[in-house]
Structure 1
Amino acid sequence: MTIDRERMTQSTADEKAIVQNYFNTTGFDRWRRIYGTDQVSKVQADIRKGHQQTIDTVLAWLKADASLKGKLICDAGCGVGSLSIPLAQLGARVYASDISEKMVAEARDRAAAQLNGHHELILSVSDLEALRGQYHIVICLDVLIHYPDNQMAGMLAHLSSLAMERLILSFAPKTPKYTLLKKIGEFFPGASKATRAYLHSEEFIVEILGNLGWRIERNAMTKTRFYFSRLLEAVPAK
């Protein structure tokens, strides 16, 4: 048992290092362009469209309920700031982090161009496991794809411990169709894709959240040709 746990810990560390290296090297320019406005390939433009739809859905949910002014929000895995910056523009106090130093640097550049000194946005380099603090809302978009099922309960428990009012997550749904597409290389296309992509069943994620004391308030599915993402909003069950 001890040997198995040590192997799992080492495997987790190795995979995290691969993800970090990828988004600091070959993957950085690819995803910076996808999350930007530069001309990209048709596949990348389709992924950009899907990602933006997920961002827009989250913003619509949050704006529909109440003012975000003064709300403390954790954007876990912020990338280039696609969600963090508009949240700050809406008056939220945003703590945003990403495992990639280059992604965070790009987010700082974009924030400097789009925000002024009246907005509260703190950006830092951190993996999900190292996040600490208490936030009204914790959001983690397009990051859980890097975590296999055997790590999901622990990761969701950690994110849950940071959230006081709301937890918003996205993940690649595990269905027969998407599993097949992934196997034949159509689910995450592109020669520069160098990290593993894990699919998760919605029932599995919902069960974990339920055991942690959350209930699903809203859900949405974003589907484009090359981008598939299930979005869940969870609130305390009591």
Structure 2
Amino acid sequence: MVATPTYGATRDRVEEYFDRTATRTWERLTSDAPVSGIRQTVREGRDRMRAIMLAQLPGDLTGKRVLDAGCGTGAMTEELARRGADVVAIDISPALVEIAAKRLPEGLAPRVTFTSGDMLAEGLGAFDHVMAMDSMIYYTAPDLGRALAHLCPRVQDGIVFTVAPRTAFLMAFWSLGKLFPRSDRSPVMIPHDPRKLAQEAARNGASGSIKEIERVARGFYISTCLEYRA
């Protein structure tokens, strides 16, 4: 099982942050509303990363079942549905899922099942593809290795996901964030080395490999797209 104490604690912290603290911020950030210069770089970085991730999938997803793991306010979900996929869109935050459902064009609604909860839940079933944009960035390498090993048997193709790259800047930023009182912290990204993640997945019985696709660095948005295949 993936529900280790560290995984569960991180998942609960992320849920509380996005469902109680940052809902309105993310609703505005992922809309067309004006935002500050810093948030604009995050918006642009996320748009670029979403395009990179989608480029790893076929243009026609008709008949394919795709998990949007950490769907947020639904931008990735909409694009997958437009390609013809049957999408299961899940997020730890019920508030964000509600926003995503409201934003989805009515004509695409029959292709999407929205739900809130743990993106690794076995009850979600099997998939042809899994997309996890910025939803795994808060977890430790051992927990991510378990997550990949847990998902792998239920995925026909690949798992496309993002992590924070292990750079000197982000390691310093991460260490500095640990100095703040816990009550003042938002969930902090944990930088990762893809090789370490592959080792952790193998330690949990998975036999796949991780390929680095592309890194996006746009202002305050820094993330790397990876693909895991069995």
Q: TM-score normalised to the size of structure 1?
A: 0.83
Deviation track 1:199-233 (CA, whole Å, cap 9, x = no partner) reads 11122123345662223466111111111111112
Root mean square deviation of aligned Cα: 2.3
Stretch deviating more after TM superposition (100-109 or 205-214): 205-214
Corresponding residue of 2:227: 233
Q: Report the Cα distance in structure 2 between the residues aligned to 1:197 and 1:234, rounded to whole angstroms.
A: 20
Q: Name which of 53, 59, 62 aligns with 1:58.
A: 53
Q: Name which of 146, 168, 193 aligns with 2:160.
A: 168
Stretch deviating more after TM superposition (195-204 or 73-82): 195-204
Deviation track 1:76-134 (CA, whole Å, cap 9, x = no partner) reads 111111101111011111111001000000000011xx240575011101112324311
Contiguous gaps of at least 5 residues in structure 2: 178-183
Secondary structure in structure 2 of the residue aligned to 1:36: coil
Contiguous gaps of at least 5 residues in structure 1: 1-7, 186-191
Q: Report the Cα distance in structure 2 between the residues aligned to 1:12 and 1:117, rounded to whole angstroms.
A: 33
Cα drift, residue 178 of structure 1: 1.9
Cα drift, residue 37 of structure 1: 1.2
Corresponding residue of 2:95: 102
Q: Report the Cα distance in structure 2 between the residues aligned to 1:91 and 1:218, rounded to whole angstroms.
A: 26
Q: Report the Cα distance in structure 2 between the residues aligned to 1:108 and 1:74, rounded to whole angstroms.
A: 15
Aligned 1:1-238 pairs, distance under 5 A: 9-63=4-58, 67-111=60-104, 114-116=105-107, 119-131=110-122, 132-184=124-176, 194-208=186-200, 212-216=206-210, 219-236=213-230
The structure with higher relative contact order (CA 8 Å, sep 6+) is 2
Corresponding residue of 1:3: none
Q: What is the aligned-residue identity percentage? A: 26
* Matched AA of 1:207: Q
Corresponding residue of 1:4: none
